[in-house]
Amino acid sequence: MIINKPANMIVHPGRGNYTGTLAGALQFHFDRLSDVAGQLRPGIVHRLDRDTTGLLIVAKDNTIHHKLSGQFERREVRKEYRAIVHGYVERDSDYIETHMRVDPYRRERMCVCPPGGNAREAVTFYEVLERFAEFTYVRLLPRTGRTHQLRVHMRHLGHPITADRLYGGREPVELVAIPPSVSELAETEEPEETQTDDAPVVQAPIQRQALHAHRLEFEHPATRKRLEFEAPLPVDMQSTLELLRNAGDKRR
């Protein structure tokens, strides 16, 4: 199965979160799922963070699960994410190649570190899709699958993912609404009621890290046919992009 996971849903139980998980929902709806990952993770081949939206693969039996896991281990699964990040990303595209491990000061986070010890290689390709004055919309292609990899790499680049509080994305975006132009006011029936001296502050609707698993490509484990799936951007990311586009400060 291919699942389009919403925000604010944990994939499987852990760290005190035992209810409202995707794994629990799958068990409720399906009689048969793989148990390769254990009883608490039925069918779960890979995972997404709680507030990351988008595509997940779920295996219904153990044979399929093993074959899919093998594709992930051999890096044969192509994953594409979309993100809105803080700041103006200068390069049109580039690779981020680092090593990562658990942050020794905050165990819930990962961090970039020198090679050696328990550090693991992490590689991400990024490409700029749109630039704004203070934000950039990017396409992210992870070549490895480390925990929090994209969030850590964008922070390491100096452009944390918007509203990602764990990795320095600060609070949700606040944008200044552009007042109507003179020509627009002339077309309204009551222009005096719409005209204001100060443009109001509009808070963007993104309340969680602006990261979405947009595309998955992999080989069907039974037919060996190459499959491609896409999940459209969730409403909160679409609305935030529209606010940025309408702010009038878009850059090339």
Q: Please give the positions annotated as active site.
A: 49
Distance CA 112, CA 114 (A): 7
Measured between alpha carbons, how far is 24 from 172 in angstroms, rounded to an integer? 30
Write b or e for each residue in 139-148: b if 16 or more Cβ atoms lie within 10 A of its Cβ, otherwise e.
Answer: bbbbbeebeb
Q: What is the 3-class SS of the chain, one letter each residue?
A: CEEEECCCCCCCCECCECCCCHHHHHHHHCCCCCCCCCCCCCCECCCCCCCCEEEEEECCCHHHHHHHHHHHHCCCCEEEEEEEEECCCCCCEEEEEEEEEECCCCCCCEEEECCCCCCEEEEEEEEEEEECCCEEEEEEEECCCCCCHHHHHHHHCCCCECCCHHHCCCCCCEEECCCCCHHHHHHCCCHHHHCCCCCCEEECCCCCCCEEEEEEEEECCCCCCEEEEECCCCHHHHHHHHHHHHCCCCEC
Torsion of the alpha carbons at 16, 20, 23 and 27, rounded to the nearest 10: 120
